[in-house]
Amino acid sequence: AQKITQTQPGMFVQEKEAVTLDCTYDTSDPSYGLFWYKQPSSGEMIFLIYQGSYDQQNATEGRYSLNFQKARKSANLVISASQLGDSAMYFCAMRGPLFSGGYNKLIFGAGTRLAVHP
């Protein structure tokens, strides 16, 4: 069975500083994908970054980078130069191999609420 763990219920960071949100996972599938989503108070889940299990390089998307340590089964999100608009709930999520129809079952961790202070 797949499992995603986020152990930080809440995090605080000063504006313009970097912050790391932790995520560990467990799966027996050799093929899987890891995602980070941001959920502001409006409710929408906003995709931030993706890491595939076979990807050799850590994923980066603008101010977001994913610190992927496969042997440790961790996929931490690093946000550089935090902005006030980064205040939101952040979810780590995992999918297993895609089903033959190309869809997937995405399971989410418990989430980390990030507050950025001026």
Partner 1 sequence: DTEVTQTPKHLVMGMTNKKSLKCEQHMGHRAMYWYKQKAKKPPELMFVYSYEKLSINESVPSRFSPECPNSSLLNLHLHALQPEDSALYLCASSPSGQGQGTGELFFGEGSRLTVL
Given a contact cutoff of 8 angstroms between Cβ atoms, the answer to whether 10 and 20 are in contact is no
**CB closer to partner 1 out of 15 and 26:** 26
Q: How far is CA 73 from CA 5, 15, 23, 51, in A?
A: 10, 29, 9, 12
State which of residues 7, 29, 52, 60 lies at the interface with partner 1 (CB under 8 A).
Answer: 52
Which position has the token pair 């033959």?
100
Q: Does 57 bind partner 1 (CB under 8 A)?
A: no
C-beta of 11: minimal distance to partner 1 in Å?
Answer: 15
Report CA-CA distances (Å) from 84 to 28, 29, 102, 112: 38, 38, 37, 16
Contact call for residue 35 and partner 1 (CB under 8 A): yes
Could you say which residues in the range 99-118 bind partner 1, by CB under 8 A?
99-111
Count the site residues for partner 1 by CB under 8 A: 27
Does position 98 interact with partner 1 (CB under 8 A)? The reply is: yes
